Chains A and B, each alone.
Chain A
Amino acid sequence: MARIAGVNLPTSKRVPIALTYITGIGTTSAEAICEAVSIDVTRRVNELADTEILAIREHIDANYAVEGDLRRETQMNIKRLMDLGCYRGLRHRRNLPVRGQRTHTNARTRKGPARAIAGKKK
């Protein structure tokens, strides 16, 4: 079983696909990693030698912000906006869309499931 950055990778998948299970690594960066440590993209995780896994781990540690660190960074950025008292921070505080989307309808991702309004009929 391969553990990279505190995440268990699925053993039977191709290496670039398996790497996307790590938060902060998508298909583009996963392929870039494979290129950098010279691992063929058609190989699967259970075919990798320990040294190759180590190489991937070191490459990620050196070049990418992943998992907890990345989440903390995003949280810090949002917190900074909220503390500033700017418009974007205000929208984050109210859990409303930040980038100027409409809120008359939709915006359910930010607002959560619709709440019934008392006394509204027809």
Chain B
Amino acid sequence: MARSVWKGPFVDSYVLKKAEAARDAGRHDVIKIWSRRSTILPQFVGLTFGVYNGRKHIPVNVTEDMIGQKFGEYSPTRTYYGHAADKKAKRK
């Protein structure tokens, strides 16, 4: 079920603070965040976030199309290289 509109979009407050600071400063470096659950807001467009995936921060360049989605959607948490059996079958 979708979130109630009256609550507004959810963003962890430290993300907002960091983004604002980066905007005021040179805004060149990657903003490291752990908050995968935060919504991408219009004022984040053009910034680069390092979204944590449990192991490292994946750089995400925010574009206009991403607004409204969550940061976690751009930082995959699983690595999958396929099954051993599949590779054997392909080699033959």
- One of A80, A86, A118 near B74 (C-beta < 8 A): A86
Q: Are A84 and B65 in contact (CB under 8 A)?
A: yes
Q: Which residues of B contact A114 (CB under 8 A)?
A: none
Q: CB of B42 within 8 A of chain A?
A: no
Taken together as a complex, chains A and B put the C-alpha atoms of A118 and B85 apart, in Å, by: 7
Majority secondary structure, B binding face? helix
Q: Are B73 and A87 in contact (CB under 8 A)?
A: yes
Taken together as a complex, chains A and B put the C-alpha atoms of A87 and B72 apart, in Å, by: 8
Taken together as a complex, chains A and B put the C-alpha atoms of A90 and B88 apart, in Å, by: 25
Majority secondary structure, A binding face? loop
Q: Are A117 and B69 in contact (CB under 8 A)?
A: no
- One of A80, A90, A117, A119 near B76 (C-beta < 8 A): A90
Closest to A87 in B: B73
Q: Which residues of B contact A119 (CB under 8 A)?
A: 85, 88
Taken together as a complex, chains A and B put the C-alpha atoms of A86 and B65 apart, in Å, by: 11
Q: Write the residues of chain B forming the contact surface with A, with a CB cutoff of 8 angstroms.
A: 63, 65-66, 69, 72-74, 76, 83, 85-86, 88-89
Q: Write the residues of chain A forming the contact surface with B, with a CB cutoff of 8 angstroms.
A: 80, 84-88, 90, 117-120
21 contacts between A and B (CB under 8 A): A80-B65, A84-B63, A84-B65, A84-B66, A84-B74, A85-B74, A86-B66, A86-B69, A86-B74, A87-B72, A87-B73, A87-B74, A87-B76, A88-B73, A117-B85, A117-B86, A118-B85, A118-B88, A118-B89, A119-B85, A120-B85
Given contacts A85-B74, A86-B66, A88-B73, 11 further A-B contacts (CB under 8 A): A84-B63, A84-B74, A87-B72, A87-B73, A87-B76, A117-B83, A117-B85, A117-B86, A118-B89, A119-B85, A119-B88
